[in-house]
Amino acid sequence: MRPIVQPLPPRNGLTASRVRAPYSIVARDFLAAVIAGQRHQHPEDDARALDKRFAAGEVRDRRGQVIAPEQILAAGVDIFFYRMPAPEPHVPFSIETVYEDSRVLVVNKPPFLATVPKGAHITETAVVRLRRATGNEELSPAHRLDRHTSGLLLFTKSREFRGAYQEMFARRAVQKTYHAVSAGPSAVAPGTVWRSRISKVPGDLQAHTVDGEANAETHVISVSGRVHVLAPHTGKTHQLRLHMCEAGVPIVNDPLYPAIRDDLMDDFTRPLGLTAYSLRFEDPVDGREREFSL
């Protein structure tokens, strides 16, 4: 087996970015265009900062070889570099540790904190915060929660175990329950099963139900007042939020369903009423039955 080559290791909690040259181009010109084209650019990420990256050997190819600013990149060549994150609003909630051992770290992620960097949310993410807090740059989420969803999130502590746990979540070998608080009174009966075909198009904030064979299934375990205990049997984007909304009981403070609400996107006083409450699985490393809950 070939050893894994890491062109640039994570630094200060951030994984190096990878970009691909679309055609033959001078390395410095290409990277300058990439940085200038960022939707969220740090005001100090200028020509001087770019030259510092090259001088420090912080622009590399897939093999880890340092790329010179005047080097001609062939079309399709990947280069790696460290982005300079733009300033972000601080999410005023902490991440609580639920469980930790030599392989995994299970935390209670607060709302408004993305799991991994994406778009405008880079440093205010669970993985970056935890890497910085623990000093462990290999910390990696085995699965993800939406930015507005709170609750249990499992991280692996080293690359040695990353694949086993990520694959476990990918093949739906984890039993999960969520607590969803409806915005109003509920007439949903325990035992109800919601099945639909959900489609989420990149660039569209909302997911939608479309015609076709069902690819999303949610079981209603219990209902107490406005609190619904839900067990998703699939993991489509926004599945629980869309199923609750289409059942006539949208989740309280949902900024996307039934309609997009810009006023709720970053209102820290009105978090989405959706919490990942429990995880249960057979450990992929030692075969033990494991269960975590809030």
Q: What is the DSSP string of 165-183?
A: HHHHHHTT-SEEEEEEEBS
- Work out the pLDDT band at 2, boundaries 50, 70, 90: very low
pLDDT more than 70, % of the chain: 98
pLDDT at residue 81 is higher than 80: yes
Residue entry with tokens 């030692």: 286
SS3 labels along 69-106: CCCEECCCCEEEECCCCCCCCCCCCCCEEEEECCCEEE
pLDDT at residue 3 is higher than 80: no
- pLDDT of 5 reads 60
pLDDT at residue 244 is higher than 90: yes
pLDDT more than 90, % of the chain: 95
- Residue 269 amino acid letter: T
pLDDT at residue 160 is higher than 90: yes
- 103-151: pLDDT as tens digits: 999 999 999 999 999 888 999 999 999 999 999 999 999 999 999 999 9
- 175-221: pLDDT as tens digits: 999 999 999 999 999 999 999 999 999 989 999 999 999 999 999 99
CB atoms within 10 A of CB 197: 14
- Once rounded to an integer, what is the mean pLDDT over residues 261-275? 97
Residue entry with tokens 């569209």: 204
